[in-house]
């Protein structure tokens, strides 16, 4: 059952509404413009551990939303709730709702497999399958079925081009993906996610295992991808959040403390804790 | 002159003389090289501390050498002293050592049939069980299954043999006589032996497959599911291929156990060395099941009556040498498979450097391989 979010967007020129200073605040993070995904009073529990506390947040369409915060603040947990990756974790429980368009993805009738095709994910560590580059990228199509060989080749090329990897690997599509460098592997994982043409791309610290040059390439890639895709990226790198995103959310111990346009959050944060974090006083 | 003599009287002295001669006469360069090679750059004090450890290693290696040379030396008596030709031994169909006939073909066929039957029955069940335990069942199921599998593996083979006689043999007999009805078949033969062996090797294959599946990085599962694959597609298209080398290692080790198993098979197989396990005919039902024998069973049966120095005695050693070779081959194969396929570039390392020895699969298999290596020759006697 979809909870109807009681968010009135019109009339609020205030970019983000700041909640009261209490930890379990009822803070609703709104945005201007088209909303692609929206969480309403989202809670995630691992057993008795309350990892995400009542987070309501809107993710703008075809923009980059960065989620930052210190380690263990729940930003990755939040991201994984957006395509129901918690279904895999024993003992994890999710309440509240996540809307993709108008659909509640936690509704009982929701098809998780279809959802994950619409909401792709790139993980912290590059995790290519131990197979050829071609098979990695075409994996999503093959599990869907119904594509012939030429369609598959075309999609693989397109996806690899979108991931800025085509020129580097076009001559060795049949070699193992594990032979690629870390940065290439991560771009391969992005290409793999793009191949099923998702609407939203979730990235869970995609650069944390990469060197600065590979990181730069991924960031440039994100810049291009946002023309077509809605992107939500978790990062513990403040500069990265500042560079790539249009909106930034700050998480602390499972609470969404502040959510605002990136420029605003980095130039005049409204909450003391956000300011402490971005000025390096903790985290 | 047998192999042991060749080794002790030719190879060892040659090596000692060459190395010693080079050390004494080869001048400072050779002296330096040999000393460097022997000490590996360690100081004298370190070398002295290493002596007990080195001794243990030497003893183990010597023990293995003695086993191989002793069995091999005796085995070749069949061909050298008793003048049986190699071809006659491996292609002869009559095993009647008291009569001078030692054709081991049907024994080898029996061993192969029993083993293949056991592996073919056991592998799909084991893999399915491993997939269920690691991928489908809740986490406590794995903690429950591991000791259960160990219990299974620990049941003495004679108990399996007795159970087989009481349960499996009548079942096979009943099934055959009901389905075919051509003549009364008592049930002793490769089918019964293969079925019981399949149960015996099930824990081996299952637990190694569980280890292989559990050693896969969690990222692999998530990657597949995040691309919209169902759980079943993830298992079939990603997890099973990625863990195939580990699973295959389990199958090879299970094969090793099936080849070497004696007691349970001796109870069930019928112990007739001069029958093919299955005889094909031109009339209905086109095949007959008959009591047969295997290499291990025949060693077990014949040893009771063999006198040292007779053909009977030598032929047994030749059979056991064949078994030894098979088990070495299987261990070598399992090590090769484990080193090659086992999830090579660990995803823990983004640079993707290859060191298979660090994966759980490889180490667990290596340990298992070592266990079988010692268990196989032991189960022959």
Contact B213, B131 (CB under 8 A): yes
- Partners of A186 on chain B (C-beta within 8 Å) are 350
- Do the Cβ atoms of B343 and A120 come within 8 Å? no
* Local structure of B301: helix, strand or coil: helix
Q: Closest by alpha carbon to B162, among B273, B295, B265?
A: B265
- Partners of A212 on chain B (C-beta within 8 Å) are none
Q: Closest by alpha carbon to B100, among B86, B87, B84, B85?
A: B84
Q: Which long-range contacts (CB under 8 A, 24 or more apart) does A255-262 make?
A: A255/A23, A255/A24, A255/A25, A255/A27, A255/A53, A255/A54, A255/A55, A256/A27, A256/A29, A256/A55, A256/A56, A256/A57, A257/A27, A258/A16, A258/A18, A259/A16, A259/A27, A259/A29, A259/A57, A260/A15, A260/A16, A261/A15, A261/A16, A262/A66
Give the residue from chain A lying closest to B229, CA to CA: A143
- Partners of A142 on chain B (C-beta within 8 Å) are 237
| Amino acid A26: pLDDT | 56
Q: Closest by alpha carbon to B339, among B251, B214, B246, B200?
A: B246
* Local structure of A119: helix, strand or coil: strand
Instruction: Give A160's Cβ-side CA count (13 Å radius).
Output: 24
- Partners of A140 on chain B (C-beta within 8 Å) are 227-229
| pLDDT beyond 50 at A22 | no
pLDDT per residue over B182-205, tens digit each?
Answer: 666 788 989 999 999 999 999 999
Q: What is the ipTM of this complex?
A: 0.82
Q: Does domain B95-343 have CATH number 1.10.3720.10?
A: yes
Rg (CA), chain B: 25
The separation between CA A232 and the C-alpha centre of its own chain, rounded to angstroms, equals: 3
- What does residue A256 show for φ and ψ, rounded to 5 degrees? -85, 110
pLDDT per residue over A199-225, tens digit each?
Answer: 999 999 888 888 888 888 889 989 988
The span from the CA of A241 to the CA of A224, in Å, is 16
- For residue B345, the cross-strand partners are B354
Pair of tokens at residue A139: 């994996």
Taking the CA of residue A103 and the nearest CA in chain B, the distance in Å comes to: 18
pLDDT per residue over A46-96, tens digit each?
Answer: 888 888 888 888 899 899 999 998 888 888 899 999 989 888 788 888 988
- What does residue A123 show for φ and ψ, rounded to 5 degrees? -100, 170
The reply to whether B229 touches chain A by the CB within 8 Å rule is yes
* Local structure of A253: helix, strand or coil: coil
The span from the CA of B183 to the CA of B312, in Å, is 34
Taking the CA of residue B257 and the nearest CA in chain A, the distance in Å comes to: 30
| Amino acid B57: pLDDT | 94
| Amino acid B99: pLDDT | 86
| Amino acid B343: pLDDT | 58
| pLDDT beyond 70 at B330 | yes
Q: Across all residues in chain B, what is the average pLDDT? A: 83
B212-226: average pLDDT: 90
Angle at alpha carbon of residue B355, lines to B352 and B359, rounded to 5°: 95
The bridge status of strand A247-252 relative to strand A255-261 is antiparallel
- For residue A52, the cross-strand partners are A44
H/E segment holding residue B286: none
Better pLDDT: B365 or A274: A274
pLDDT per residue over B63-97, tens digit each?
Answer: 999 999 999 988 888 888 888 888 989 998 888 88
The span from the CA of A190 to the CA of B341, in Å, is 26
Burial of B179 (0-12, 13-18, 19+ CB in 10 A): exposed
The span from the CA of A108 to the CA of A40, in Å, is 17
Q: What is the pTM of this model?
A: 0.77
SS3 breakdown of chain A: % helix, strand, coil, rounded to 5? 35, 25, 40
Would you list the domain boundaries of chain B?
3-75, 95-343
Burial of B108 (0-12, 13-18, 19+ CB in 10 A): middle
Q: Closest by alpha carbon to A147, among A83, A197, A186, A201?
A: A197
Measured distance between the N- and C-terminal CA atoms of chain B, rounded to whole angstroms: 25
- Do the Cβ atoms of A193 and B350 come within 8 Å? no
- Partners of A185 on chain B (C-beta within 8 Å) are 350, 352
The span from the CA of B187 to the CA of B269, in Å, is 9
Q: How confident is the model at residue B46 (pLDDT cuts 50, 70, 90)?
A: confident
- Do the Cβ atoms of A113 and B229 come within 8 Å? yes
| Amino acid B350: pLDDT | 34
| Amino acid B213: pLDDT | 92
The span from the CA of A204 to the CA of B69, in Å, is 60
Q: How confident is the model at residue B283 (pLDDT cuts 50, 70, 90)?
A: confident
Angle at alpha carbon of residue B227, lines to B221 and B231, rounded to 5°: 50
The reply to whether A89 touches chain B by the CB within 8 Å rule is no
- For residue A29, the cross-strand partners are A57
**Residue of A127, A144, A178 with shortest CB distance to B228:** A144
Angle at alpha carbon of residue A84, lines to A80 and A89, rounded to 5°: 80
């Amino acid at each position: 059952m979809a909870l109807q979010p009681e968010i009135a967007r019109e009339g609020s020129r205030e970019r983000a509404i700041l909640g009261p200073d209490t930890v379990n605040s009822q803070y609703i993070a709104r945005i201007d413009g088209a909303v692609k995904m929206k969480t309403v009073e989202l809670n995630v529990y691992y057993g008795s551990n309350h990892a995400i506390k009542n987070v309501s947040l809107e993710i703008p369409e075809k923009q980059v939303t960065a989620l930052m915060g210190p380690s263990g603040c729940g930003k990755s947990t939040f991201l994984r709730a957006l395509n129901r990756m918690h279904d895999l974790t024993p003992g994890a429980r999710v309440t509240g709702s996540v809307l993709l368009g108008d659909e509640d993805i936690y509704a009982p009738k929701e098809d998780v497999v279809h959802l994950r095709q619409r909401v792709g994910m790139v993980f912290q560590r590059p995790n290519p399958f131990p197979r050829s580059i071609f098979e990695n990228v075409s994996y999503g199509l093959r599990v869907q079925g119904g594509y012939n060989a030429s369609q598959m080749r075309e999609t693989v090329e397109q996806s690899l081009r979108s991931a800025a990897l085509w020129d580097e690997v076009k001559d060795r599509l049949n070699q193992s993906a594990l032979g690629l460098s870390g940065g290439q592997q991560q771009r391969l994982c992005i290409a793999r996610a793009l191949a099923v043409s998702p609407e939203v791309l979730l990235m869970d610290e995609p650069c944390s295992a990469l060197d600065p040059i590979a990181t730069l390439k991924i960031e440039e890639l994100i810049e291009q991808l946002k023309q077509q895709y809605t992107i939500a990226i978790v990062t513990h790198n403040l500069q990265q959040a500042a560079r790539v995103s249009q909106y930034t959310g700050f998480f602390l111990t499972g609470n969404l403390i502040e959510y605002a346009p990136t420029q605003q959050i980095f130039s005049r944060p409204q909450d003391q804790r956000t300011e402490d974090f971005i000025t390096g006083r903790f985290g | 002159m047998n192999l042991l003599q060749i080794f002790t009287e030719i190879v060892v002295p040659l090596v000692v003389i060459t190395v010693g001669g080079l050390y004494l006469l080869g001048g400072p360069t050779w002296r330096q090289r040999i000393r460097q090679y022997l000490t590996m750059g360690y100081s004298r004090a370190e070398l002295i501390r290493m002596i007990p450890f080195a001794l243990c290693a030497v003893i183990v290696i010597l023990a293995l050498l003695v086993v191989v040379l002793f069995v091999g030396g005796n085995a070749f008596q069949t061909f050298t002293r008793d003048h049986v030709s190699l071809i006659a031994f491996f292609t002869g169909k009559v095993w009647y050592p008291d009569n001078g006939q030692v054709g081991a073909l049907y024994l080898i066929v029996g061993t192969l049939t029993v083993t293949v039957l056991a592996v073919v029955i056991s592998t799909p069940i084991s893999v399915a069980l491993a997939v269920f335990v690691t991928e489908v069942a809740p986490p406590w199921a794995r903690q429950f299954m591991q000791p259960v599998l160990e219990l299974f593996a620990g049941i003495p083979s004679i108990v399996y043999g007795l159970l087989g006689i009481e349960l499996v043999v009548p079942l096979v007999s009943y099934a055959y006589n009901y389905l075919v009805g051509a003549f009364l078949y008592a049930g002793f033969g490769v089918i019964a032996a293969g079925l019981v062996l399949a149960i015996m090797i099930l824990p081996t294959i299952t637990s190694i497959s569980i280890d292989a599946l559990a050693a896969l990085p969690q990222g692999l599962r998530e990657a597949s599911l995040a691309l919209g694959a169902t759980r079943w597609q993830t298992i079939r298209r990603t997890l099973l291929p990625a863990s195939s080398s580990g699973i295959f290692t389990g199958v090879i080790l299970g094969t090793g156990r099936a080849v070497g198993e004696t007691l349970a098979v001796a109870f069930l197989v019928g112990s007739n060395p001069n029958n093919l396990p299955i005889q094909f005919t031109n009339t209905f039902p086109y095949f007959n099941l008959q009591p047969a024998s295997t290499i291990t069973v025949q060693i077990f049966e014949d040893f009771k009556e063999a006198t040292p120095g007779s053909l009977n005695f030598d032929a047994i050693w030749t059979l056991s040498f064949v078994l030894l070779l098979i088990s070495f081959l299987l261990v070598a194969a399992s090590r090769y498979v484990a080193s090659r396929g086992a999830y090579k570039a660990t995803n823990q390392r983004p640079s993707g450097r290859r060191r298979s020895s660090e994966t759980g699969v490889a180490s667990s298999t290596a340990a298992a391989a070592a266990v079988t290596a010692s268990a196989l020759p032991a189960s022959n006697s």
